[in-house]
Amino acid sequence: MRWSKQKPLGRGAGVLLPVFCLPSEYGIGSLGREAYRFVDFLERAGQRYWQVLPLGPTSYGDSPYQSFSAFAGNPYLIDLQVLIEKGLLTRQEVETADWGQRPDTIDYAKLYAHRFAVLQKAWARSGCESDEGFAAFCEKEKEWLEDYSLFMALKDHFGGREWQAWPEQIRLRRPQAVAQWQTRLARECSFWNYVQYLFFDQWGRLKRYANQKGIQIIGDIPIYVAMDSADVWVNGDLFQLDGSRRPTAVAGVPPDMFSATGQLWGNPLYDWDAMEKDGFAWWKRRMASCARFYDLIRIDHFIGIVHYYAIPAEEDTAQNGKWVPGPGEKLLAAISTALGGKRIIAEDLGSVTPAVRRLLAQSGYPGMKLMEFAFDSDGKNENLPAYFEKNTVVYGGTHDNETLAGFFGPGQSRNMLRFARRYLHVSQNRQIPWAVIRAAYASCADTVIFQLQDFLGLDNRARINTPSTLGGNWCWRLTKGQLSGELADRMRELTALYGR
C-alpha cells in the first residue's frame, strides 16, 4: 500500500512548554487566561509553533505518557475561572481548596484530593442533561467516550484500583456485566462525560485563538498506551495479553549509556498482526482524534513502528528483552488516510537502524536532532549543525533532558565544555546555552524547537522529567512575571535574523 510523501514543514521556530507548566492560582497550568497570554507571547516573539506534551488524563506517577485514555483530555487542565464566571462554581469554593503552597511547582496529591470534588459541584449545577451542546458532544465522541467514562466510574467505584484487579466479569467485559454497570453507574458516567465536554470546549477555543495568531500546536503522542487504560480494557484483543488479560510482554528500551539495566516502561505491546487484520482501525481512530486536537503530531518513540523492544512481562529490568519487527510502512499507509492533511514529526532518537532511516525517507517525516548530544566527541558528530538536513526538527533537549544551563553547568566535563566553546565561538561557559540556540536558528534545519526554560536560562531545577525515576517529575511551573516583553523581542530578533 502506497501513500503520498509528506511535504517539509518549512522554515520556522517554536517553543516547547507543557500546558501544566503555565502559571495558575489553582495548582497547575490550565487552558485559561495564562495559556492565552502565552500564545500572545509567542506571537510577539515571532514563533510559529507551540509544542505541548500529551494532554491525556494522567495516572500513577503523573506522567503524561501514562494516560487512562489515548482519546480523553486531562481534567486537571480545565480552567476553573471560566466555571466561576459561568456561575457553576463560587470563588470561595475554588479558593478555599488546598492546591499546594508553592506557585512554582505542582502538588499532584492535592490536585487529586480536591480537583474532582470541585468539578463535581460544577457538573451538578450545569444542567448538562438538557444542554444540546453536551448531547451533541457525547454523540460525536461516542465511539470512545462511553467506554472511557464507564472505565473512570468503575475505577472510582473500586477505590482507584487498576482494572486488572476488578471482579472477573467486568474485568473481562462480559456483555451482561457491562450493561449492568452502565445502568448502576449512569450518573457517574454522566459526570465523566461532562468533564470531557468541558475540556474539549476549552481546548478547542484555545487552539482556535492560537491559530488566529499564526501559532500552530504541535501535539506529542506516546507510541504506547498505559496498561491501566480504557484503551487496553476495551481492546484487549489488540494487545499482547493472555487469556486472563495479563500482558505477556511489555515495552521498554535496552541498556545504554544512560541506564545499565535499560528502561522498563511496562506498557503492553500491540498485537500488530491482529491490528493489521482490521486495517489498523484503532490507530486510524487515534490519529483522526489527534488530527482534531493538533496542527502537527509528534510520534514519540517512532522507531517502535519499525522495530520494538519486547521484554517478558515477568522481568524486573529491561536487560532480557529482544528486538522484534514492527508494522513499518503498513501502519503509516493506513494512518495517512486519517490525518486530514495534518503532518507528523518522528521522534527517531535511540536505535536508528538503516530500516528506520529508509522509512523516514519514504514517509517524508522530519526526524529530530538534539543539540545536547552534539559536543561529546569531535567535529564529526552528526548532531552538530554542520550535518543537519533541511527536513529536520532541532531541539536543544526534550522534556526528558536537562535544561541547557544545567547541561552545560559545573558538572559537565571540561573536554565537552572546551569543545562547545570553540565550536560556538564563545569564551565563557555561561554563554554556551544562548550560543546553542543561535547556532540551531542559523542552521539549515527547517524547524527549531527549544524549551522555554532554555530561553529563560534556567538550571535543572526547572527540568521537566528525569527518565527511570519516580517523584519530582512533571512538577515545574512558570511563575507570573517570568515572561517579559524584552525576552519576546530578543527571540523575535533571532527569528528575523535567521529567516524563521
End-to-end CA distance of the chain: give it in Å, rounded.
36
CA–CA gap between residue 350 and residue 164 (Å, rounded): 32
Angle value at C-alpha 389, between 385 and 394, nearest 5 degrees: 55
Query: Among positive and negative, which fits the CA dihedral 427, 433, 437, 443?
Result: positive
Q: Other CB atoms closer than 10 Å to residue 96's CB: what's the count?
A: 9
* 3-class DSSP assignment, residue 387: helix
**DSSP codes of every residue in 9-44:** --SEEEEE--GGGS--TTSS--SSHHHHHHHHHHHH
Q: Compute the distance between CA of residue 218 and CA of residue 50 in angstroms, rounded to an integer.
A: 6
Max Cα distance, the chain (Å):
72
477 touches 20 (CB < 8 A): yes
Instruction: Please enumerate in sequence order all residues whose Cβ is within 8 A of that of 370, keeping only pairs 6 or more positions apart, or say none.
Output: 349, 383, 394, 395, 396, 397, 398, 401
At 134, list the grid cell. Answer: 453536551
70: left (phi over 0), alpha (psi -120 to 50) or beta: alpha
Q: Cα–chain-centroid distance for residue 141?
A: 21
Q: What is the DSSP code string of 218-247? A: EEEE-SS--SSSHHHHH-GGGBSB-TTS-B
* CA–CA gap between residue 46 and residue 214 (Å, rounded): 9
Beta bridge partners of 345: 298
The CB-side HSE value for 237 (13 A sphere, CA atoms) comes to: 9
Which of the residues are catalytic? 300, 347, 400
Residue 91, classed as helix, strand or coil, is helix
Residues in the chain: 500
How far is Cα 289 from Cα 266, in angstroms, rounded to an integer? 25
